[in-house]
Amino acid sequence: MKSKNKSVPTIALNKKARHEYFLEDKFEAGLELEGWEVKSIRNGKVNIADSYVILKNGEAYLLGSQIQPLHQASSHVVCDPDRTRKLLLKKKQLSVLFSKVERDGYAIVATAMYWKGPWIKLEIYLAKGKKSHDKRDTVKDRDWAREKERMMKHSVR
């Protein structure tokens, strides 16, 4: 019997995204990768901290992600670690993304890269940018929740 609680093997995270943006709608996208990129990702040589998604010609592309090539795996191939990678999404998802970005001024931010079976998936969110006072409020709320948990833990004892 398969267990319901499966942990997804995460490859890379963008921790700054939750601090910089209000994350609203979540999408899961595949990536169009080359062979040397998959080998590098298996070794954990990927960074999506400053990555974002642009929409062009009816398709979505990932910019700002870095996949460092392995020296032994990429001796015969010209590797570009900063190349633009195409995202694989359904037409309905793309139309939702296009409409939100064009009309409502949303940004599309990559938050996580993970394995789903043999495929590499990218978790992207429709996001609105936070102002500096919003960031302070978020930090204050998080600290208060942590303090509340401490008080509840000590009051039970």
pLDDT tens digit string along 22-72?
899 999 999 999 888 898 999 989 999 988 899 999 999 999 999 998 877
Q: What average pLDDT does range 79-108 have in this prediction?
A: 91
104 — pLDDT class (breaks 50, 70, 90): confident
The pLDDT of residue 53 is 92
Question: Once rounded to an integer, what is the mean pLDDT over residues 70-80?
Answer: 72
Using the predicted structure, report yes or no on whether residue 140 has a pLDDT greater than 80.
Answer: yes
The CATH code of the domain at 10-130 is 2.40.280.10
Report the 3 state secondary structure along the chain: CCCCCCCCCEEEECCHHHHHEEEEEEEEEEECCCHHHHHHHHCCCEECCCCEEEEECCEEEEECCEECCCCCCCCCCCCCCCCCEEEECCHHHHHHHHHHHHHHCCEEEEEEEEEECCEEEEEEEEEEECCHHHHHHHHHHHHHHHHHHHHHHHHHC
